[in-house]
Structure 1
Amino acid sequence: MKQEQFERLQALHEKLVDVFLDEADPDKWPGQGIALASMDAQTRGDRYWSKKNAVATIALTQRIQTLVTVVRVQTSGDDPENPAAVVDPQDDLDRQVADAEREASQLLANLQRPGAKAAFDKRVHGKA
């Protein structure tokens, strides 16, 4: 995960907590102040939906918090605000280049074996 993604994830978590606090306020639910027995089916349904929506928002918030926590658990001991799971894009590119070079050298080594090129050509091009 890139540092920018990690920071955006934390900002999203904070925004969702604010949304949850707004959605979970019973004073804002439909039918506020009306006895349950006096509510019509539409109002009861809307009230139930409002509660479910708040629960879904907090569930999403918890999952994001779990992800943030997992990233922080992998934190380097030197800087707790710089999680080890957050990678520098340049480091990722260097790793990909190293992997590609390693694979290319293995392919070259395989082709340099006696008879390997002929077997390769036969497999790829159908040559005899």
Structure 2
Amino acid sequence: MADPSQEIRKLAKELDGIPKELRKRLRPALKVAAEPIVADAKGRASWSTRIPRAISLSVRFSQRDPGVSIRVRSKVAPHGRPYEGITGNAAFRHPVFGHRDRWVSQETRSYLVPAAEAGMDGALAATVEVVDQVAREQGFR
């Protein structure tokens, strides 16, 4: 099987050409296909009280950014990005609460990437199935 991220990018490009009436049917189905990844990410971040409720899912068909996005709202959980390790480092530094002159290193605790990797095949299969079903119903073969 090809690289899953390449497959998703290819599918995202193809989704851009879908007519509006098909998009209306695909949007909820794509959300359902990606929901297990969101649930897994929330479970992996359950050590935090804010990160799980900051995780959201969106489906877009825009030309600039088509696809399914799982995001962590920084206003709700500003520590979500450093804990995920988006900077590429295994640790990040922050001041100790109440002591701006004392800094400590903290290890990352990735929750989004492992959830996406674990659920990628299932979400991709569900997405392909939904796209095929809607295309067949519209007369495509």
TM-score, scaled relative to structure 1: 0.31
TM-score between the two structures when normalised by the length of structure 2: 0.29
Higher helix share: 1
Higher radius of gyration, 1 or 2: 1
